Amino acid sequence: MARRFGKIAIVASDAPEAQKAAANLVSRYGTHPPDEADAIVALGGDGLMLQTLHRFMGTGKPIYGMNRGSVGFLMNEFHENDLVDRLEEAERSVVHPLLMIAHDAAGMPHQARAINEVSMLRQTFQAAKLRVYVDGLVRLEELTADGLLVATPAGSTAYNLSANGPILPLNATLLALTPISAFRPRRWRGALLPDHARVRVDVLEADKRPVSAVADHTEFRSVTRVDIAMDRSVDLVMLHDPGHSLDERILREQFGY
């Protein structure tokens, strides 16, 4: 019987624990160049998983992560045994990234994609002042805050949760729009948006109150406007052991703190 993943590639973070695990797995199962592989086995933490998803974005290659890092929310438990069988039995989770287009003071656009969130952050001691549009309509005339973020369901348990944003089920057709340390309006706690919404954020008083825009780990500084929308043209595939799917982890997270 043909296997789904006849060729696997093993990649790892620079952490000694991850490098040691990679060497052991390669000796037992071998490895192929990532471009030739049917699946990628990523060893590390959530940071390595995000880097791997970004690296192979657009290829459709499924990523099976095993935790050899610190948090490992996106990862499976690490075991050296039965890797081939675990891959065959793994369940797929498909997510789409956010596309961010950030405009600088000269009006030049800069593009990046985010799997977790797009965030806008003050660059100095002064709070940012932001105007928020949703589908072309002004929904918040002026937000004074440390910043603002738009999170996907997959990223809702990351920075979004730390900023007191809601946890979203993976299959929810929603985005979380969450303020970061809002000063005015003081009672505004954010909004849930349909995932087809197009968000635009203008930076007010940009010269006096500079703001950076960050898509996961890609940052552009001193922006004046940021447009954010889900990019459905890109599928990101993660593999998880049965009973430990990303849906299950997100659900469990809501009862674990």
By annotation, the residues acting in catalysis are: 46
Q: Which of 9, 7, 10, 6 is nearest to 19 (CA)?
A: 10
159 is known to lie in a ligand binding site: yes
Q: Distance between CA 230 and CA 73 in Å, rounded? A: 22
76 is in an annotated binding site: no
As a whole number of angstroms, the distance between CA 98 and CA 153 comes to 11
**Residue 39, annotated ligand binder?**
no
Q: Do the annotations mark residue 206 as ligand-binding?
A: no
User: Is 47 one of the annotated binding-site residues?
Assistant: yes
Angle, vertex CA 201, rays to CA 195 and CA 206, nearest 5: 160
The response to whether 117 counts as a known ligand-binding position is: yes
Contact 224, 205 (CB under 8 A): no
Is 248 part of any known ligand binding site?
A: no
The reply, when asked if residue 202 is annotated as ligand binding, is: no
User: Longest C-alpha distance within the chain, in Å?
Assistant: 65
The separation between CA 248 and the C-alpha centre of its own chain, rounded to angstroms, equals 17
Q: Is residue 157 marked as binding?
A: yes
Is 119 annotated in some ligand binding site?
A: no
Give, in degrees to the nearest 5, the angle at Cα 120 between 246 and 107. Answer: 125
40 phi, psi to nearest 5 deg: -110, 125
Which residues are part of a known binding site?
46-47, 116-117, 146, 154, 157-162
Which residues are part of a known binding site for NAD(+)?
46-47, 116-117, 146, 154, 157-162
